[in-house]
Structure 1
């Protein structure tokens, strides 16, 4: 049984949900910021970083709203998700990331996401 806990991160983004969704759900978009190389076949993304590879199956997605992925090596109940919300107060686009990590590793994993999201923001001119 996994001891991992779910955590959630939020990032305000200055772009439209449709543009952001392209960067979160397509091989070309993900290759811009998430991995060195990204392929997609039979509902599975193949990600490569410095020669190592991981695969993630698309569990669910709703265009311009969210995509939920499952690392093929991870327990079935674990996933990571990119969700796009619009703030009711500011009308700003918000990227919400849900992921799982060991409790003591949440801070480190959050920093890794922060680094990745900074790269995403640079790519979309945010």
Structure 2
């Protein structure tokens, strides 16, 4: 099986890091845009899409800065991460998403993230 490679996506967001972080790091927030239903038990998030269930562990986080998840079925060195940055000049909030995919699947994964982020922006009123 080909090794997956990391890719990064960036989106300008019109909201405070604190509000955005809530949508990225809580079951209620993630359930608004990322999955049909999200539960959490003992640092394990359970994501449901159309009856399909995936589990991810929070491996690292910093309040209002970033959260990194590891799918329990993925290799140890793979993760997906939501990072919140502020631009120095304009003080704009930037959402940085890091994920892994096989080289020939990066375009499809990017389109999936675009769809998800569009839903997030809709929920944020962007």
TM tier, smaller: over 0.9
Give per-residue Cα distances to partners, 1:40-65, cap 9 Å, x unaligned. 00100000000000000000000000
Question: Which residue of 1 is the match for residue 10 of structure 2?
Answer: 10
1:64 and 2:50 are equivalent in the alignment:
no
Over the aligned positions, Cα root-mean-square deviation in angstroms equals 0.8
Return the offset for 1:90. Answer: 1.5
Question: Which residue of 1 is the match for residue 104 of structure 2?
Answer: 104
CA distance in 1, matches of 2:13, 2:36: 23
Give per-residue Cα distances to partners, 1:61-114, cap 9 Å, x unaligned. 000000000000000000000000001122100000000000011111001000
- TM-score normalised by structure 1 residue count: 0.98
Runs of 4+ off more than 3 Å: none
SS at match of 2:119: helix
CA distance in 2, matches of 1:17, 1:2: 36
Unaligned runs of 5+ in 1: none
- What is the number of equivalent residue pairs in this alignment? 126
- Range with bigger deviation, 87-96 or 69-78: 87-96
- TM-score normalised by structure 2 residue count: 0.98
Unaligned runs of 5+ in 2: none
